[in-house]
Amino acid sequence: MKISLTWLQRYIDLPESPKELAACLTLLGFEVDDIQTTGVPQLENVLVGEVLERVQHPDADKLGVCRVALGTEVGEKSIVCGASNYKVGDRVPVALPGATLPGGFKIKRSKLRGVESDGMMCSGKEIGAGEDAAGLLILDGSPEIGTPINKILTESDTVFNLEVTPNRPDCLSHIGIARELAAWYRREVKYPSLDDLPSIESRLSGDDVFQGAKVECEEDCPLYRATVIKGVKIGPSPPWMQELLSSIGLRPINNVVDVTNFVLHESGNPLHAFDARDINGKKITVRNAAEGESMTTLDGEERKLASRMVVISDEKRALAIAGVMGGQNSEVKEDTTDLVLEVAYFNPTTIRWVSKNLALSTDSSYRFERGVDPKSLRFATDRAVQLILETAGGVVCGPESVAGSEPVSQNEIKLSPDWVRAKAGFDIPDAQIQENLELLDMVVSPGDDGADWTVSIPSYRGDLDRPIDLLEEVLRIYGTDKIPSGAVRATATGANDHPITEFARQSGAYLVGQHFSETVTYTLRSESEQNDWSEDVAAMQLGLKNPISEDQTQLRHSLIPGMLESLRLNQSRKTGATRFFETGRVFREVNGKLIEMLSVAFLECSQGGARSWKERGNDDFYLAKKRTEILAGFAGVDIGRFGINPIEGGDTAWQEGHAALIDDPRAGILVEIGLMNLERIKTLDILGEIVAGSFCILPERLRDAKRVKFQGFSLFPPSSKDLALVVDKNELASNVVRSVSKIATKATKNAFALEALDVFDVYEGEGVASDKKSIGVSMRFRSLERTLKDKEVNQAFEAIQSEIKAKTNYEIRD
Amino acid sequence: MEEELKQIVESAKSGVNGVSNRAGFEAFKAEITGPNGSLTKVMKGMGKVAKEDRPIFGKLINQAKQQVQAVYDEAMSVIEAAEIAEKLGPAIDPSLPSPDSGPGSFHPLTQVREEICRIFKQIGFTVAEGTEVETEYYCFDALNTPKDHPARDLQDTFYMPDDADFANVSKKSDERYLLRTHTSSVQIRTMLKEKPPLRIISPGRCFRRDTVDATHSANFHQVEGLYVDKNVTVRDLKAILDYFFEQLLGKGTTTRFRPHFFPYTEPSFEVDFSSKHLAKLGSDWVEIAGCGMVEPEVFSSVGYDPEVYSGFAFGMGIERIAMIIYGIDDIRYFYQNDRRFLNQFA
């Protein structure tokens, strides 16, 4: 909200500098976004000049060549000028060569269409004195020729752009801010005097032009006042009012409209003036809009209304959208003579809804939706009447039409100063607490003998309801910058950080140790990126209801696409990056329900790194698998216990035959590992081959590491036996290991133990049928009690072999 | 005889020079002590030697065998040394750079988050986590945000479609799912689960429907803190934040409170800091956090008695703190992950 210092000074004495005031407003809770000084800045070589003579430019119809007097020191100059609003004898600002005008425009001697020009005659806008750029600024009052322009145009203003928090609608006006500053500086607020208004009883009847207002929707409009003013003359408002309105960015329109705007920004009360001629039936009804009703607002827009909206209407049609904007059909025009002035209190919730649904926010709606003080309507009406009579003439008529009534209750809060000190945690004397509240126009009645105080709250402070609200007020005036620090109290014991935090820390530490750089990428991804991943993922309902842009419509299902995007950026910038990881949340759909999962993923790209004198191999599937196993381990998951399957089909983000998947929704985990689809990587404009791994888990499945229970181990030597098995080419090694382990465990049962079974060789080629492969497994046996004898091991080995022959379709290779 | 043995030894000594590997060594050995080797032949001739000459003869053969064995041992050690040398390859040039990639690095946002967590850990705050998808109740209602508060608008907050259904994000009733706009929702869920006293911080990713520019991002990161106990005061809040910012930004860092408004705290403040350690900022006050005493309505909504308990909450943006302490001028750097950016924090 814009607050003009000049305007503010009408209500409070403020000798402080703008900077000091800004600091004070900040500490009162009104953040100052910026401070702007308007008016004529300090200008060198800009003087008052008098036009002595004007002749037509020989080669340009619109240019005149003027002889200008600039005083004894400078003498006369010849200046070419394009304006047409001046006459010989006018005094105007003249910028001489060497002057720099606002905006950095430097004045030089120059030729205009062949005629020498020795300076420039200026418009108001050109020297920063207002917005008028249409013609030269004609200086009133014949200032002395040759006077520096800053001696004539001394008016300047400072405008603060303040942030007013939503709980303080009472401060959306100059008087509101003046009240706050008055409390801070312990000064008086000088409210405008309304003594010169004709008394209600003395007013003549305005029945002939207006006969009253009624409210049909009392909940939306608890209070409505309409006042008739007859015989106004529409014209421009006085310069002081125009200047004040302009300073806060409002365009002066005419005296009556300017008064309504002025009062809005003076006291915070929105009001509206109707041309009485346009009120059919001479009566106003405040009612809900009819379904399908529409009207054209002052901005020329045709607005379709909904039945929850409230309109000000006559017997035929809507004249205004209540609390938001007036209608074109009843606006004040040049020939308006009789006015009906509306000052009302509309329900904040209603106005917020209307404003939102019409996508129309105005100075009025902004204030109504935050809450206008219903008790201020009387003052606002009188003030507007006073200013209209002053600036547009006319007579105010009676009787005043009032629908609804002011709330009568006086808000009071019980407060104990001991309680204030207990909440603050430091000492503030009773007297200071009382004074701080009183400075904010509260009436404090201390109780007898330590009883609670009774604090009466001014009607405009609708935000104050409870003692805790008053604590904030006491602290504000005390100065929140003076709240003392103290010792850190530690009354609650610490605990372990959340398992999600610990998992991310462990995963990150491991991958950083493996030379991966952590990325942070956006959660929101594009639909096409999601669709490109796989058919399954494309079918997931991960879209937002209200995305902000096309490339951020979906929740990410994996961390990998974001990392690929970063990789592409690094490749195009030739930064040498090849290894990334990320931890974060991903989202998926399983069995028709969405889930949020915790994920860690990493990738390595074979290209883009720095060249080196020595080649290092790139990551392969099995290294990525190992890394993923380790990461899963941090989550308490042994992924060796889950079935892992090759990813099939060429239409996924993974390369068929070189990537694998563990998808176990019941356990809440999803693992993807392997080579990224070469074709797709290419279409992403990424060079090289990418091996990636991704581990996702439902956060609620994270387990703290279990306390280890020690297991005794054998001190006797092991005995090993190797077997080569010919199996189907597409048989998974894990199946072979599982079957053989089972058989071997059974064969050695009770006597000794199969300690380990490792795959030590995988072979395809000569000596093995083309649809088969050979898997070599090594079994290690050991006993807890003794050194194993060859005989018992051989016996077991034979039993294992015959069992394999009998129970599996594996062929034992000699 | 004696002459013959001498010659065998001599020829072994001279012949060994031609031996350079294990195969050659084995062939060389076979020529002397193999089944048909020269020394073996001499030894086979023992039977023909007169009985009385045998001791001398035996002694000579043993001498020859020992001498040949010494030649073998010497040859073997030369071969082994050559093998090791070959295996090791040429000597290293210690000045060559390592061909391995690296270094790995934590993202600056992670580093700042961890630093914040570490500092708060010192004063008893535990990290709590929650989901990024939240419901309107936990993100707004329970935090005393009015039903028609603009923060709830479709303009400002990302919502999931009305029929979206999350299996692992619980709802209060049938309110909408959204992407959390702050991590205060974690505080609500933690308070619903646990009894005071409570000290938690909740770092995490949040979302606001902002267009991306130098200072805005649709997702960003926050840390919020919550302290609930009996008799918690405004001064305690100031003490904790003073401690934190001095730890984070260096000794002599000071903070000041400015009145502000949040629906979930009363009174509410914005926090400015001033630190001589950040030369760029000079001695100006810089806005850094929001805080306040927990609004009694919030306690009521989680079943804490506001007459018994009081507490404070605070929150700050991790990006903003990272930008201030590292002097980063554009938030987008955090999300581009240019290696030249990331490596500066390795």
Q: How far apart are CA A414 and CA B193, in angstroms?
A: 34
- Stretch B277-287: mean pLDDT: 74
Best of A489, A571, A590, A696 to disrupt the B interface (most B CBs within 10 Å) is: A489
* A496 min Cα distance to partner chain B (Å): 6
Q: How confident is the model at residue A451 (pLDDT cuts 50, 70, 90)?
A: confident
The Cα–Cα gap between A557 and A715 comes to: 50
Report the C-alpha gap between A672 and A661 in whole angstroms: 5
Contacts of A569 in chain B (CB under 8 A): 336-338
Give the Cα separation of A303 and A321 in Å (integer).
9
Among chain A residues, CA nearest to B345? A517
User: What pLDDT shows up at residue A483?
Assistant: 95
Paired residues of A286 in beta bridges: A215, A312
Average pLDDT over residues B42-48: 81
* Helix, strand, coil content of chain B in percent (nearest 5): 45, 20, 35
A36 band by pLDDT with thresholds 50, 70 and 90: confident
Residue B210 CA, distance from chain mean position: 31
pLDDT of residue B280: 62
Q: What percent of chain A stands above pLDDT 70?
A: 99
CB contact under 8 A, B198 and A492: yes
pLDDT bin (cut points 50, 70, 90) of residue B11 is confident
- Tell me how close the Cα of B79 comes to any Cα of chain A, in angstroms: 29
A358: left (phi over 0), alpha (psi -120 to 50) or beta: alpha
Nearest to A544 among B117, B159, B258 (CB): B159
Q: Cβ A165–B260 below 8 Å, yes or no?
A: yes
State residue A709's pLDDT score: 93
A contacts of B218 (beta carbons < 8 Å): 522, 524, 548, 552
Distance CA A536, CA B312 (A): 46
Closest residue of B to A500, CA-based? Answer: B129
Q: Is the ipTM of this complex over 0.85?
A: yes
Residue predicted with more confidence, A180 or A34? A180
**3-state secondary structure at position B310:** strand
pLDDT at A134 over 90: no
User: How many other β-carbons are positioned within 10 Å of the β-carbon of residue A502?
Assistant: 18
Report yes or no: B92 at the A interface, CB cutoff 8 Å.
Answer: no
A-B contacts (CB, under 8 Å)? 261
The answer to whether residues B176 and B147 touch, using CB atoms and an 8 Å cutoff, is: no
pLDDT above 90: percentage of residues in chain A: 77
Give the gap in angstroms from C-alpha A525 to the nearest C-alpha of chain B.
Answer: 11
Residue A258 has pLDDT above 80, yes or no: yes
Nearest CA-CA partner of B265 in A209, A544, A345, A468: A468
Chain B residues closer than 8 Å to A489 by CB: 236, 239
Say yes or no to pLDDT of A196 above 80: yes
Residue of B114, B337, B341 best to disrupt the A interface, most CBs of A under 10 A: B337
What are the extents of the domains in chain B?
Answer: 2-88, 109-345
B107 CA: distance to closest CA in chain A (Å): 5
User: What's the pLDDT at A126?
Assistant: 86
pLDDT of residue A491: 65
SS (H, E, C) B106-174: CCHHHHHHHHHHHHHHHCCCEECCCCCEEEHHHHCHHHCCCCCCHHHCCCCCCECCCCCCECCCCCCCC
Task: Dump pLDDT digits (tens) for A633-672.
Answer: 999 999 989 999 999 887 899 999 999 999 999 999 999 9
What is the model's pLDDT at position B295? 96
- B contacts of A166 (beta carbons < 8 Å): 261
pLDDT tens per residue, range B290-328: 999 999 999 999 999 999 999 999 999 999 999 999 999
- Interchain contact, A570 vs B123, CB within 8 Å: no
Question: How many other C-beta atoms are found inside a 10 Å radius of the C-beta of residue A564?
Answer: 24
Cβ neighbours of A590 in B, within 8 Å = 167
Domains defined for chain A, CATH in brackets: 2-40+157-185 (3.30.56.10), 46-154 (2.40.50.140), 200-404 (3.50.40.10), 412-481 (3.30.56.10), 499-701 (3.30.930.10), 719-813 (3.30.70.380)
Task: Please report which confidence band the pLDDT of residue A400 belongs to, taking 50, 70 and 90 as the band edges.
Answer: confident
Nearest CA in chain B to A612: B99
Q: Which residues, including other chains, have CB under 8 Å from residue A219's CB and lie 6 or more apart?
A: A347, A350
| Residues A536-547 as b or e (16 or more Cβ within 10 Å = b) | ebeebbbebebb
Contact check, Cβ <8 Å, B236/A425 = yes
Task: Provide the terminal-to-terminal Cα distance of chain B, rounded to the nearest Å.
Answer: 79
Shortest Cα distance from B189 to chain A (angstroms)?
13
C-beta atoms of B104 and A472 within 8 A: no
**Which residues 62-81 in chain B show a CB within 8 A of chain A?**
none
Cβ <8 Å between A613 and B104? no
Q: Give the pLDDT score at A492.
A: 64
Query: Given CB atoms, is B269 within the 8 Å cutoff of chain A?
Result: yes
Contacts 24+ apart (CB under 8 A), A429-435: A432/A478, A433/A474
CB spacing of B261 vs A168 below 8 angstroms: yes
Which residues does chain B have within 8 Å of residue A424's beta carbon, measured at their own beta carbons? 233-235
Least confident of A321-325, A529-533, A644-648, B59-63: B59-63
CB contact under 8 A, B166 and A595: yes
> Which chain B positions have a beta carbon within 8 Å of A552's beta carbon?
218
- Closest B-chain CA to A552: B218
> Average pLDDT in the B19-31 region?
88
Q: What is the structure's pLDDT at A38?
A: 72
Does position B282 have pLDDT exceeding 80, yes or no?
Answer: no
Specify whether the CB–CB gap between A24 and A77 falls below 8 A: no
Of B197, B233, B256, the CB nearest to A423: B233
pLDDT of B283 over the 70 cut: no
What is the residue whose two structure tokens read 């020729």?
Answer: A145
Nearest-Cα residue of chain A relative to residue B268: A472
Given a cut of 90, is residue A687 above it in pLDDT? yes
The whole-number average pLDDT for the span B52-69 is 86
pLDDT at B262: 94
DSSP secondary structure letter of residue A462: T
- Three-state SS for A716? coil
What pLDDT is attached to residue B279?
63
Question: And the tokens for A777?
Answer: 């497994």
CB atoms within 10 A of CB A216: 13
- Count the residues in chain A: 814
Minimal Cβ distance to A512: which of B106, B209, B343: B106
Cα dihedral A227, A231, A236, A237 sign: negative
Using CA coordinates, name the residue in chain A closest to B312.
Answer: A423
Q: How many angstroms separate the Cα of A259 from the Cα of each of A11, A340, A671?
A: 17, 14, 70
Q: Do B219 and A549 touch (CB under 8 A)?
A: no
Question: Cβ contacts (< 8 Å) between A475 and chain B: which residues?
Answer: 234, 259, 267
Q: Does the distance separating the beta carbons of B129 and A517 come in below 8 Å?
A: no
Q: What confidence tens digit (pLDDT) does each residue in A52-65 have?
A: 999 999 888 888 99
Among A130-139, A470-479, A528-537, A623-632, which is the least confidently predicted range? A130-139
CB contact under 8 A, A497 and B127: yes
**Nearest C-alpha of chain B: how many angstroms from A350?**
10
Write out pLDDT tens, residues A552-568.
999 999 999 999 999 99
Q: Please give the residue of chain A at the shortest CA–CA distance from B109.
A: A520
Mean pLDDT of chain A: 92
pLDDT at A415 over 70: yes
- Amino acid identity at A657: G
C-alpha A173/C-alpha A162 separation (Å) is 11
Q: What is the pLDDT of residues B197-220, one digit of tens each?
A: 999 999 999 999 988 888 888 899
Report helix, strand or coil for A445: strand
Which pLDDT score is estimated for A226?
96
What is residue A254's predicted lDDT score, i.e. its pLDDT? 95
Which overall architecture, per CATH, does domain B109-345 show?
2-Layer Sandwich (3.30)
